[in-house]
Structure 1
Amino acid sequence: MDKIELLAPSGSSEAMVAAVQNGADAVYLGGTRFSARAYASNFDDEELEKAVDYCHGYGVKVYITINTLIKDSEMDEALSYADFLYRIGVDALIVQDLGLVSNLRSALPEFELHASTQLSVHNGEGALWFIEKGIKRIVLARELSLEEIRHISIDLGVETEIFIHGALCISYSGQCLMSSILGGRSGNRGRCAQPCRLPYDLMDSDGKKVASAYLMSPKDITAIDMIKDIKSTGTSSLKIEGRMKKPEYVAETVRAFREELDGKSDPKHREQLLQVFNREGFSDGWFKGKHGKDMMAFHNPKNAGLEIGTVLPDGTIKLSKPLSKGDGVRVGDEGQTVSRMYSGRETIESASKGDTIKLDSTRRLPSGTLYKTLDKGLMEELSKSYENRYGRKLPISARLVFAPGREAEITAEFDGRVFKASSRIVEKAMKAPLSLDRITEAMKKTEGPYFISDLTPDVFEDGFLPVSELNAMRRDLLEQLLAYRISSAKRIVPERKVSDSNVKVSAPVLPSKLVVAATLEQIKAAVEAGALDIAAYPWYRGKQYVDLKSLETLAIENPDVRFYLRASSILKGEFDMVLASIRRLVEGGHIRGVLTSNMGLIRALKGICPVIGDYKLNLFNSSSLAIFGEDISGGTVSEELNRSELKELKGKERLMCILYGKQELMHSEYCPVGAAVGGMTSEKACNQACMRENYSLKDRMGEEFRVMTDWFCRSFIMNSKPKNILDTANDLKWMGFSSFRMDLTTESHDESFELVSAFQGERAFSTSDFNRGHYKRGVE
């Protein structure tokens, strides 16, 4: 394969320069609009163009993130922004919104698109679906193993990009609604409040606290020790996370991975990566398969620092690693910057491994393990690596013509083109002619990204020119090269084509009232209440939940009811088994169709049965369905739209609204029950505690979020309260919606009967404790 790309984060201009100067092949950054890191410094339009030009001068590619969901009111602005990015030469866009993808394929068909990790692409069928829709590269979900990456990259021939270092979302990216629903700050809009980094209690069925920690806060991942294995996957690009991080962090991570990729392996890389940032160390994420509590930072969600010694009860410190004045240290939650350091009574500037020292007695640290949270010397070293934005030089070979009576001339071949610069007529040397060495020395000077590394004379005779002429000739040649490299990336924006995003399809219409149920008792209650369309998820763990066999039996016993199978948004190794089960139920006439957000299933089920898109498809605007064509009958609108945004949607005949239900806040490969109670680690299997009891996460406000698990050993964190907008049915009908849905998860038979009855009768029903979702407030 071609050289593997090292892709670096650039949340600021300084971070971008740090990435380029330390050897990144590409950078990704966001503008002030539509970026999933809305709180990074980001770049305005003028800064963006300068950044693109600077990177292209070095041959470094630039990818811009437009990886948030786009509202109808923003779509024109997003497309105009894409026009600007296309014109200034951005190499590719990293995108999440399906409506934007559809519009970009029509408006800017030559613009390379990369599917953001926010799209949760995690199986081969899903990857192929996006490639067929015009996506060039897939930024794979971070939850994939080396074998799964290898299958998609090599076996299927898909261009992929994977994260190899940095923070890890505990939920599948793009599948998390926790920050949005609880606090109004949407991760899908770049404003995640990171509720996963807060402490939680794990409660059992009796209300007893069985664990208390930062149960949802994972360590950062690193692949610094497995570069050979990573290369063998066939992935095209290695991505470092960190657009919110300091330039020094970018410098160190890029430097370490650049050297590892270039075969300069060094144990110091891991230690220095730990020093610039870690949360209780690193994990290797999902690269080697399942993990449990050993991938979590249960005790500290922030930068933990590097262990360097012990503070003894008398205040003395025994060092296991060096310490210097200006370094930051901590014991537990107590921290300080080292202002004075003593060896005995002597003030010292630094201390070595094995030394016993004391710090300033006015700020005494408690006894315990000492961590260095900031290494002043390392940070200064890293800062120097990018203080000169043209410190790194790219070598250019040139040829020289130098003889009296003709213009001096230097030429260089670059990108298949020949560039030439010349001077005035070379004079005869009256005294001391210019030597070839002196001319070569003048040619090697430079102020930009290039330097003439070797100069080959085609014609050389003794003669004389002022050195200023040589310098001017050199500058002219190198400026031509730089101008060409920058200008060749610029493009002309094609004339906008008008497209109809409201694609007409011949697939069956959506059910007018769909009840989604989890347990057998809920389905029985729904049937008793007169529901005619029922969807069930047959893979939850627990005796009370419906399974495939009981779903088939229910379909036989209730021939007047149209049953649907709800399939998971995430399917990896079990994909073929689930697909086979669906085929069998369809062929037996037991289900009418499938409700899912899984792109792989959507692709595989085309022509087999109707598919309804689930709400984790994040259908956020009127263009969202266009990309599907006839792949789906329609879909459930995003749970993050408010009333006015719902009203403005076009094509409502293919859109379904949820009127009641506890939203799935997180969908994760990690299970807090398995980690905290089940004893699961990377080496030890879970004891399946979730099969014996129900568990909930309790936050600092006393809210409890049910943890549900499935047979694929994934967890679902459910909202503590149901969304209840049953009283809005007539209002939504007036807007033009004709398909509605309610989701039952933890409700009893009797509760379900009352709720479904109200749903069927299109009347309000007040539960004891509920919320209105985003119907009134929406997200920014």
Structure 2
Amino acid sequence: MDKIELLAPSGSIEAMVAAVQNGADAVYLGGTRFSARAYASNFTDEELEKAVDYCHGYGVRVYITINTLIKDSEMDEALSYAEFLYRIGVDALIVQDLGLVSNLRRFLPDFELHASTQLSVHNGEGALWFTEKGIKRIVLARELSLEEIRHISMDLGVETEVFIHGALCISYSGQCLMSSILGGRSGNRGRCAQPCRLPYDLMDSEGKKAASAYLMSPKDITAIDMIGDIRAAGTSSLKIEGRMKKPEYVAETVRAFREELDGKSDPKHREELLQVFNREGFSDGWFKGRHGRDMMAFKNPKNAGLEIGTVLPDGTIKLRKPLSKGDGVRVGDEGQTVSRMYSGRETVESAGKGDTIKLDSSRRLPSGTLYKTLDKGLMDELSKSYENRYGRKLPVTARLKFAPGREAEISTEFDGRIFKASSRTVETAMKAPLSLDRITEAMKKTEGPYFISELVPDVFEDGFLPVSELNAMRRDLLEQLLAYRVSAAKRSVHERKVSGAARRVSHPSIPSKLVVAATIKQVKAALDAGALDIAVYPWYRGIQYVDLKSLEGLAGANPDVRFYLRASSILKGEFDMVLASARRLAESGSIKGVLTSNMGLVRALKGICPVIGDYKLNLFNSSSLDIFGDELSGGTVSEELNRSELKELKGKDALMCILYGRQELMHSEYCPVGAAVGGMTREKACNQACMRESYSLRDRMGEEFRVMTDWFCRSFIMNSKPKNILDSVSDLKFLGFSSFRIDLTLESHHEAFELVSAFLAERAFSTSDFNRGHYKRGVE
């Protein structure tokens, strides 16, 4: 296969230079708008253009993130911004918003697009769906195994990008609403508050604490020891996470992976990666399959450092690894910078393995395991690696013509073009002619990214030129080469109509009132209340939940009711089974259609039955449905839109609003129940504790979030309180909506009956403890 790309994060100018100088093939960065790392330093428009030019001078590709959801009021600005990026030569955009993708395909059809990991692409059908919509590369969800990556990349021939190092989201990216719903800071808008990094108690159904830790905080991943396996999986690009990290972090991660890719494996790579940042070590993520507690940083969500020794009760330190003045150390939560170090009574600048030392007695650390959180020597070394923005040189082979009575000339070929530079006429040497070695020496000097590594004489005769002429000729040639590489990427754009044409559905076929139920009792309550459109998810774990067999029975006993199969946003190994079930139920008439956010299922069900988009599709603007064409009957609007934003949406006859329900705050391959009390690790199967009783996560404020699980061993972290805007149905109708739904998850038969009755009658129903979602608040 072609050379695999090493892709580095650049959250600042210094980090970008660090990436380029240490051997990145491509960088990804964000501007000050529409970036999923809104709190990174990011780049102004002027800085972006300079960054693109700098990278292109080195032949490094530049990808810009516009990987947030876009409001209707922002769409024109986002398209204008994309046009600016297109003009300055950005190689590709990393995108999340489906409406933006649809508009970019129309307005800038040859601008390369990469599907962000925020789009949660995790199965082959989903990857094919995006490539058929004009996406060049898929940044795969981080939850895929090597075999799943190989299938999508090699069997299906999809260009993919895989995260190989850095922080993990514990929820599928793009499927997390926890920060948004709880604090108004949306991960889909680049402002995640990282509630997963906070401590939680795991509470059982009797209110007893089953575990207490940083239960949702994963270790960072690294694939430094499995580069060969990942290369063999057929992916096109290896991506390092870290746009919020320091330039030294970028320098180290790029350097280590560059050397591994170039066949220079070294055990020091893992240790140095651990030293620059780790959370209780590294995991290998999902590359080798399912994980449990062994991928989590239960004790410490921050940088843990590297274990280097032990602080004894008398304050002396027994070292197992070197320590130097200026290093940062900690024991537990207490840390300091080493300002003075003693070996006996002697002050020392450094100490090595096996040494016994003491630190400045005025800042004595408690006894315990000593960790080095900062290695000053390593950081200084890494800083020097990008100190000179042109320290790394690219070799150029040039040809020379040099003879008395004619102009001297040097030339080089690049990209099928010949570049030439000449001097004044070469003089006849009166005394000492210029030797070829002397000319070659002058040609190897440089201040930019290139140097003439080889000078091939086409014509060479004894003669003389001032060295200043040779220098000028060299500078001219290399400046031409640089100018060409920079300008070749620039593009022009024809005048663009700035409009977001709304998708119009001639005959919308979405229900006007849809009840989504989880348990058999809830379905029966909905039927008792007179519901005619009911959707069920038949794969939750537990005997109280609806399964496929009972769904068929309910449908057969209630022929006047339109049942819908709700399918998960995430479908991996079970995809074919779910698809076959949907096909069978549709063909038998048991279901009217399918409710899902899974792109693969949307693709596979075309022509089989109607599909309604679920709210995890993140339909955020009037263009969001355009990309689906006739693949969807309609869709549920994003849970992150407020009233004024809902008002601005066009094509409301194809859009559905949720009036009541607990949102899925997280959807995860990881299960806190399985990890904390189920004993699950990569080597050990879960004891299925969730089948015996229910569990919830309790946060520091006392809020409890039910953990629901399904037969595919994934977890759903549900909101502690249901959203309830049943009293706003008249207002939403005034705004132009005609289709609504309520979601039942934990409600009893009685509660479900009362809620469905109120929903069908279009009247308010006050529950004891609820919130109003984002209807009034919204997200930034």
Partner of 2:404: 404
Q: Is the 8 Å Cα contact of residues 106 and 497 (structure 1) preserved in structure 2?
A: no
C-alpha separation between the residues in 1 aligned to 2:348 and 2:260? 36
Shift of 1:82: 0.3
Shift of 1:496: 1.5
Residue 352 in structure 1 maps to residue 352 in structure 2: yes
TM-score by length of 1: 1.00
Partner of 2:185: 185
Partner of 2:678: 678
C-alpha separation between the residues in 1 aligned to 2:422 and 2:154? 49
> What pairs with 1:706-745 in structure 2 (closer than 5 Å)?
706-745=706-745
Shift of 1:501: 3.0
- What is the letter of the counterpart of residue 279 of structure 1? R
1:602/1:506 Cα in 2 relative to 1: closer, same or farther (>3 Å)?
Answer: farther
Partner of 1:575: 575
TM-score by length of 2: 1.00
Q: Which has the larger displacement, 608-617 or 504-513?
A: 504-513
Q: Report the secondary structure of 1:453's partner residue.
A: strand
Partner of 2:197: 197
C-alpha separation between the residues in 2 aligned to 1:32 and 1:600? 33
Residue 322 in structure 1 maps to residue 319 in structure 2: no
Q: Report the secondary structure of 1:287's partner residue.
A: coil
Q: Report the secondary structure of 1:274's partner residue.
A: helix
Q: Report the secondary structure of 1:29's partner residue.
A: strand
- What is the letter of the counterpart of residue 97 of structure 1? D
- What is the letter of the counterpart of residue 354 of structure 1? G
Q: How many residues matched?
A: 780
Q: Is the 8 Å Cα contact of residues 325 and 338 (structure 2) preserved in structure 1?
A: yes
For residues 314-359 of structure 1, what are the alpha-carbon distances to aligned partners after superposition, in whole Å with 9 as ceiling and x for unaligned?
Answer: 1000000000000000000000000110001111100000000000
Q: Report the secondary structure of 2:697's partner residue.
A: strand
Partner of 1:229: 229
Residue 12 in structure 1 maps to residue 12 in structure 2: yes
> What pairs with 1:369-518 in structure 2 (closer than 5 Å)?
369-497=369-497, 501-505=501-505, 508-518=508-518
Q: Is the 8 Å Cα contact of residues 723 and 771 (structure 1) preserved in structure 2?
A: yes
Shift of 1:504: 3.4
Q: Is the 8 Å Cα contact of residues 518 and 538 (structure 1) preserved in structure 2?
A: yes
C-alpha separation between the residues in 2 aligned to 1:219 and 1:494? 47
- What is the letter of the counterpart of residue 34 of structure 1? F
> What pairs with 1:547-562 in structure 2 (closer than 5 Å)?
547-562=547-562
C-alpha separation between the residues in 2 aligned to 1:708 and 1:131? 33
1:384/1:500 Cα in 2 relative to 1: closer, same or farther (>3 Å)?
Answer: closer
C-alpha separation between the residues in 2 aligned to 1:106 and 1:51? 27
Q: Is the 8 Å Cα contact of residues 503 and 622 (structure 2) preserved in structure 1?
A: no
For residues 36-78 of structure 1, what are the alpha-carbon distances to aligned partners after superposition, in whole Å with 9 as ceiling and x for unaligned?
Answer: 0000000000000000000000000000000000000000000
Q: Which has the larger displacement, 64-73 or 552-561?
A: 552-561
- What is the letter of the counterpart of residue 619 of structure 1? L
- What is the letter of the counterpart of residue 468 of structure 1? S
- What is the letter of the counterpart of residue 113 of structure 1? L
C-alpha separation between the residues in 2 aligned to 1:480 and 1:368? 61
Q: Is the 8 Å Cα contact of residues 26 and 62 (structure 2) preserved in structure 1?
A: yes
Q: Is the 8 Å Cα contact of residues 505 and 654 (structure 2) preserved in structure 1?
A: no
C-alpha separation between the residues in 2 aligned to 1:93 and 1:721? 37
Q: Report the secondary structure of 2:75's partner residue.
A: helix
Q: Report the secondary structure of 1:440's partner residue.
A: helix
C-alpha separation between the residues in 1 aligned to 2:683 and 2:336? 37
Residue 537 in structure 1 maps to residue 528 in structure 2: no
Q: Is the 8 Å Cα contact of residues 222 and 283 (structure 1) preserved in structure 2?
A: yes
- What is the letter of the counterpart of residue 361 of structure 1? S
C-alpha separation between the residues in 1 aligned to 2:618 and 2:493? 29
C-alpha separation between the residues in 2 aligned to 1:412 and 1:384? 31
C-alpha separation between the residues in 2 aligned to 1:557 and 1:360? 80
For residues 74-115 of structure 1, what are the alpha-carbon distances to aligned partners after superposition, in whole Å with 9 as ceiling and x for unaligned?
Answer: 000000000000000000000000000000000000100000
Q: Is the 8 Å Cα contact of residues 657 and 741 (structure 2) preserved in structure 1?
A: yes
Unaligned runs of 5+ in 1: none
Q: Is the 8 Å Cα contact of residues 19 and 250 (structure 1) preserved in structure 2?
A: yes
> What pairs with 1:248-263 in structure 2 (closer than 5 Å)?
248-263=248-263
For residues 583-632 of structure 1, what are the alpha-carbon distances to aligned partners after superposition, in whole Å with 9 as ceiling and x for unaligned?
Answer: 11111110000000000000000000000000000000000000000010
Q: Report the secondary structure of 1:437's partner residue.
A: helix
Q: Which has the larger displacement, 649-658 or 492-501?
A: 492-501
C-alpha separation between the residues in 2 aligned to 1:190 and 1:678? 34
C-alpha separation between the residues in 1 aligned to 2:132 and 2:501? 18
Shift of 1:509: 1.4
Q: Is the 8 Å Cα contact of residues 106 and 499 (structure 1) preserved in structure 2?
A: no
Shift of 1:503: 2.8
Partner of 1:523: 523
- What is the letter of the counterpart of residue 376 of structure 2? K
- What is the letter of the counterpart of residue 177 of structure 1? L
- What is the letter of the counterpart of residue 629 of structure 1? G
Shift of 1:507: 6.2
- What is the letter of the counterpart of residue 375 of structure 1? D
Q: Report the secondary structure of 1:659's partner residue.
A: strand
C-alpha separation between the residues in 2 aligned to 1:506 and 1:595? 20
Residue 335 in structure 1 maps to residue 335 in structure 2: yes
Shift of 1:560: 1.1
- What is the letter of the counterpart of residue 16 of structure 1? M
Q: Is the 8 Å Cα contact of residues 505 and 629 (structure 1) preserved in structure 2?
A: no
Q: Report the secondary structure of 1:307's partner residue.
A: strand
> What pairs with 1:653-672 in structure 2 (closer than 5 Å)?
653-672=653-672
Partner of 2:644: 644
- What is the letter of the counterpart of residue 645 of structure 2? E
C-alpha separation between the residues in 1 aligned to 2:590 and 2:362? 76
Q: Is the 8 Å Cα contact of residues 506 and 630 (structure 1) preserved in structure 2?
A: no
Partner of 1:91: 91
Partner of 2:746: 746
C-alpha separation between the residues in 1 aligned to 2:588 and 2:434? 91
Residue 611 in structure 1 maps to residue 611 in structure 2: yes
- What is the letter of the counterpart of residue 722 of structure 2? P
Q: Is the 8 Å Cα contact of residues 185 and 193 (structure 2) preserved in structure 1?
A: yes
Q: Report the secondary structure of 2:731's partner residue.
A: helix
Q: How high is the sequence identity, in percent, across the aligned residues? A: 89
C-alpha separation between the residues in 2 aligned to 1:295 and 1:635? 36
Unaligned runs of 5+ in 2: none
Shift of 1:500: 6.3
Partner of 1:700: 700
Partner of 2:170: 170
C-alpha separation between the residues in 2 aligned to 1:245 and 1:599? 32
- What is the letter of the counterpart of residue 44 of structure 1? T
Partner of 1:634: 634
- What is the letter of the counterpart of residue 77 of structure 2? E
Q: Report the secondary structure of 2:218's partner residue.
A: coil
- Compute the RMSD of aligned alpha carbons: 0.7
C-alpha separation between the residues in 2 aligned to 1:455 and 1:707? 68
C-alpha separation between the residues in 1 aligned to 2:449 and 2:416? 19
Q: Is the 8 Å Cα contact of residues 562 and 592 (structure 1) preserved in structure 2?
A: yes
Q: Report the secondary structure of 1:391's partner residue.
A: coil
C-alpha separation between the residues in 1 aligned to 2:393 and 2:28? 22
Shift of 1:508: 4.9
Residue 36 in structure 1 maps to residue 36 in structure 2: yes
Q: Report the secondary structure of 1:273's partner residue.
A: helix
C-alpha separation between the residues in 1 aligned to 2:779 and 2:88? 31
For residues 554-586 of structure 1, what are the alpha-carbon distances to aligned partners after superposition, in whole Å with 9 as ceiling and x for unaligned?
Answer: 001111110000000000000000001111111
1:68/1:500 Cα in 2 relative to 1: closer, same or farther (>3 Å)?
Answer: closer
Shift of 1:495: 2.5
Runs of 4 or more above 6 Å deviation: none
- What is the letter of the counterpart of residue 723 of structure 2? K
For residues 178-232 of structure 1, what are the alpha-carbon distances to aligned partners after superposition, in whole Å with 9 as ceiling and x for unaligned?
Answer: 0000000000000000000000000000000010000000000000000000000
